[in-house]
Amino acid sequence: MKNKLNGTSITTLRICLLVALSSILFLLFSSYKEKYDYPNSLTQKEYVNTVIKKDMNLVFYKRTCPYCKAGKKLVISEAKKSAITSYFVDVETKEGKLLAKKYSVEYAPSIVAIRAGKSKVYLYAGDKDNKKVVFYDVIKDVFEN
């Protein structure tokens, strides 16, 4: 005894196969796009809005620097209280060296204040009368403005 498929059954089967095939292709394309397409979050516009237009502080330090150690507690405290985002940059790392060069940082205990796309370098500790001194006013001013 032979089973015969009528026209309605064949049409239904074709629709089911088409839906299944479309779903598989959609999943494959989505997976491919996630792996090989450029991410939307890292566009030029995002860079400009977050890096160029945003006010921030870059706090440069060196772990073995006695001046950095002297100012560390106050710098960290003021950075935590500040509305301005601060990034801590170790000048001994590859990235730290690049940033130090980019912003013309000569000494480790420095803060680069970036405001409206313009940068200015401040020392947050140094020598005064042959003593290591923390420049409290500089630190307070940089993190407030």
Domain range summary for the chain, segments of one domain joined by +: 1-36, 44-144
**Distance in angstroms (rounded) separating the CA atoms of residues 97 and 61:** 11
Give percent of the chain with pLDDT exceeding 90.
Answer: 50
Asked if pLDDT for residue 15 goes beyond 80, the answer is yes
pTM for the structure as a whole: 0.65
Q: Please write the tens of the pLDDT for every residue from 126-145.
A: 999 989 999 999 999 999 98
* CATH class (in words) of the domain with range 44-144: alpha beta
Helix (H, G, I), strand (E, B) or coil at 98: helix
Q: Please write the tens of the pLDDT for every residue from 88-113.
A: 999 999 998 999 999 999 999 999 99
According to DSSP, the residues that pair with 58 across neighbouring strands are: 87, 112
Residue from 100, 108, 96, 103 nearest 63 by CA: 108
